[in-house]
């Protein structure tokens, strides 16, 4: 697989319509990949919210991925993982939504010569929990903070996922990206160092229309039992303090410097508040829950209310940590905030 991951340029030739190109890709692709039309996005989001994807694509091999990029041409597309940090629009998404699976969700480990450290080559579709279990099973420690972060490696790179103890950037060495180059009418596949991605708290600077294909982690041998114990402690803490098993995206807002979004939302009296089917958890005020058939609009209304109240009382602008995929949720949220300001709520 590492041989297939080298710099390359993939030309596109958009003579057919996008629908025709994708239909053809779907027919010619390997059995690891899948193309369906009209797929409910709610099935692919931990919030269970979202309309239909006109094109839902699962890509299972690198060859299928290169062929898909050629077929996509200059059409916009949205790579996603498990949708554990994603709000999809109620109206659905016309552009292709792409998930990496199978071979593109695998990983290999290359020990260094002294056997005390290794490089893990991780394909972007790998599920964090599977990855960490595999690494710990082989005696490699350092990535265990990822095990309780639901999602894929690609999503973790895109968000610099992390906990209080550690963020991905601490162990990420480099990534392979597929980047759309509209001028050259090509997709470029290139390696970037983690340093060049300006990773900070829940933020990674990826080029527009870029897909993380894989990445390399630096890990070491260590006390696996102590690492497992840390995971157990974190799990207990989460079960005690967060509605970990309910439909959410985890933290809805990033914590402002020196404070906690949950504390601020609780202080303005919104803990337990619901709008439509969406509610602010009464256990942790930064967890917004889909309690019964919530829509994206319900969720955005609740976010707008929380931002508005926190701004009025604390003069702090809460930054959404949830990603709006396939629509401009931020613009709609701001519109709803302006309505609240006008009504002086």
Catalytic (active site) residue 27: no
> Which residue, 212 or 308, is less far from ligand FAD as judged by CB?
212
Signed CA dihedral, 308, 313, 319, 322: sign only:
negative
Residue range at the interface with ligand FAD (CB under 6 A); choices 151-159, 180-188, 224-232, 295-303: 151-159
* Minimum gap (Å) between residue 78 Cβ and ligand FAD: 6
In the chain, DSSP finds a helix count (H) and a strand count (E) of: 8, 16
Judged by beta carbon, residue 60 or residue 162, the one nearer ligand FAD is: 162
CB of 84 to ligand FAD, least distance (A): 3
Q: Contact with ligand FAD (CB under 6 A): which of 71, 159, 270, 278? A: 159
Binding of ligand FAD at residue 250 (CB under 6 A)?
yes
Whether 322 and 252 have beta carbons less than 8 Å apart is answered as yes
Catalytic position from the list 21, 202, 309, 332: 202
Does 202 participate in catalysis according to the annotation? yes
Distance of CA 214 to the CA centre of its chain: 14
Whether residue 38 contacts residue 55, with contact meaning beta carbons closer than 8 Å, is answered with no
List 84, 174, 186, 209, residue binding ligand FAD (CB under 6 A): 84
Which of 89, 92, 96, 154 contacts ligand FAD by CB under 6 A?
154
CA distance 235 to 40: 31
Which one of 34-42, 75-83, 266-274, 291-299 is the stretch in contact with ligand FAD (CB under 6 A)? 75-83
Footprint (CB under 6 A) of ligand FAD, residues 90-129: 100, 124
Q: How far is the CB of 216 from ligand FAD (least distance, A)?
A: 15
66, 244, 260, 314: which one binds ligand FAD (CB under 6 A): 244
30 is a catalytic site residue: no
Cβ neighbours of residue 306 closer than 8 Å, sequence gap 6 or more: 252, 253, 265, 268, 270, 280, 318
Residue with tokens 């109240």: 309
Pairing of strands 210-221, 288-290: unpaired
Instruction: Quote the tokens at residue 30.
Output: 């390997």
| Integer Cα distance of 189 and 9 in angstroms | 6
CA dist., res. 179 & res. 182, Å (int): 10
> Which residues contact ligand FAD (rule: CB under 6 A)?
46, 78-86, 100, 124, 149-152, 154-156, 158-159, 161-163, 211-212, 244, 248-250, 323, 325
Which residue numbers are catalytic?
Answer: 202, 251, 321
């Amino acid at each position: 697989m590492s041989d297939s991951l080298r710099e390359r340029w993939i030309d596109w030739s958009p003579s057919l319509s996008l629908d025709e190109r994708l239909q053809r890709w779907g027919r010619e692709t390997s059995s690891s990949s899948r193309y369906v039309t009209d797929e409910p996005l709610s099935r692919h989001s931990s919030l269970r919210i979202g309309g239909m994807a006109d094109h839902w694509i699962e890509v299972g091999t690198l060859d299928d991925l290169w062929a898909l990029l050629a077929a996509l041409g200059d059409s916009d597309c949205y790579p996603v993982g498990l949708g554990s940090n994603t709000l999809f629009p109620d109206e659905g998404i016309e552009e292709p939504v792409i998930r990496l699976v199978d071979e593109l969700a695998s990983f290999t480990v290359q020990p260094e010569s002294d056997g005390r450290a290794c490089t893990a080559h991780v394909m972007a579709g790998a599920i964090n929990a599977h990855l960490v279990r595999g690494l710990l099973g082989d005696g490699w420690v350092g990535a265990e903070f990822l095990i309780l972060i639901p999602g894929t490696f690609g999503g973790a790179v895109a968000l610099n996922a992390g906990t209080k103890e550690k963020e991905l950037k601490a162990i990420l060495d480099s990534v392979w990206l597929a980047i759309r180059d509209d001028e050259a009418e090509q997709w470029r596949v290139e390696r970037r160092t983690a340093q060049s991605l300006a990773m900070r708290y829940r933020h990674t600077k990826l080029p527009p229309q870029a897909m993380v294909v894989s990445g390399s982690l630096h890990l070491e041998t260590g006390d696996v039992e102590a690492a497992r114990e840390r995971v157990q402690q974190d799990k207990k803490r989460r079960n005690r303090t967060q509605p970990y098993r309910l439909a959410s995206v985890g933290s809805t807002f990033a914590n402002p410097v020196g404070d906690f979004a949950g504390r601020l939302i609780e202080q303005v009296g919104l803990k337990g508040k619901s709008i439509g089917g969406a509610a602010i958890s009464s256990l942790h005020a930064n967890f917004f829950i889909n309690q019964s058939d919530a829509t994206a609009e319900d969720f955005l209304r609740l976010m707008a209310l929380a931002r508005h109240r926190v701004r009025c009382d604390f003069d702090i602008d809460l930054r959404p940590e949830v990603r709006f995929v396939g629509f401009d949720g931020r613009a709609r949220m701001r519109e709803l905030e302006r309505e609240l300001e006008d009504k002086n709520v």
